[in-house]
Amino acid sequence: MDMVNSNLKEEKKKVSIFYIFSKRAIDILGSTVGLVLLCPILLIVAIAIKIESKGPVIFSQKRIGLKGREFKMYKFRSMVEDAEELKKDLMKKNEMSGPMFKMKDDPRVTRVGRFIRKTSIDELPQLINVIKGDMSLVGPRPSLPKEVKKFKPWMKKRLDVKPGLTCFWQVSGRNSIDFEEWMKLDIKYVEERSFWVDINLIFKTFFVLFGDENAS
């Protein structure tokens, strides 16, 4: 009986062909339109980053995507050039539980960086990742390889879908949510994902762009 109930539950979780195609269509259309409309903002931010500090405008980093595949994720650089080296001395001040590192008043963040993080503008270059197919507009935020290695077995279910620009965590408090609760929200998305869930999360994310007190 338990086996039957388990199979029925799995059947309900199966994603329709309509959802798969509609999600990819929304990803391509939304990202392309977004890049075109936001082009002036992207240019201004790029110039501001270049003027304020040394280093590249775009920061790329290896992240883990669908089924554990690695890809290069793009962001506007919001930190000083030697941020990774300085991180070693800041680990004791980590404010996030689990393997993730988060620090509200991170001294490595530049002035421009604080603004683009607060408004999530630093994430906009990931629209290119979405067009390439590495990411989706909606999905769990992509993790670092070293973070995934420390995941508990149940947390790896979040790798069953493409990582995204926004998710339940992104619109539900971000850094005010502890690591385990964050993972539960990601699993919730994997199990409940649908066309309407994605549309709802995309609309909610627009409010984040005007400033999120939990962003850093």
What is the domain partition of the chain in residue ranges? 19-207
Over residues 129-166, the pLDDT tens digits come to 999 999 999 999 999 999 999 999 999 999 999 999 99
- How far is it, in rounded angstroms, from Cα 85 to Cα 69? 26
Check residues 203 and 125 and name the one with the higher pLDDT: 125
% of the chain at pLDDT higher than 70: 76
Cβ atoms of residues 136 and 162 within 8 Å: yes
pTM value? 0.81
Supply the pLDDT for residue 8.
41
> In this structure, which amino acid lies at residue 198?
D
Q: What is the pLDDT of the chain when averaged over all its residues?
A: 84
Contact 182, 140 (CB under 8 A): no
Under DSSP, is residue 70 helix (H, G, I), strand (E, B) or coil? Answer: strand
CA distance 207 to 216: 16
Q: What is the pLDDT of residues 56-112, one digit of tens each?
A: 999 999 999 999 999 999 999 988 776 666 566 666 665 555 666 666 677 788 899
What would the pLDDT profile of 15-52 be if each residue is shown by its tens digit?
Answer: 788 898 999 999 999 999 999 999 999 999 999 999 98
Q: 167-193 pLDDT, tens per residue?
A: 998 888 766 778 889 999 999 999 999
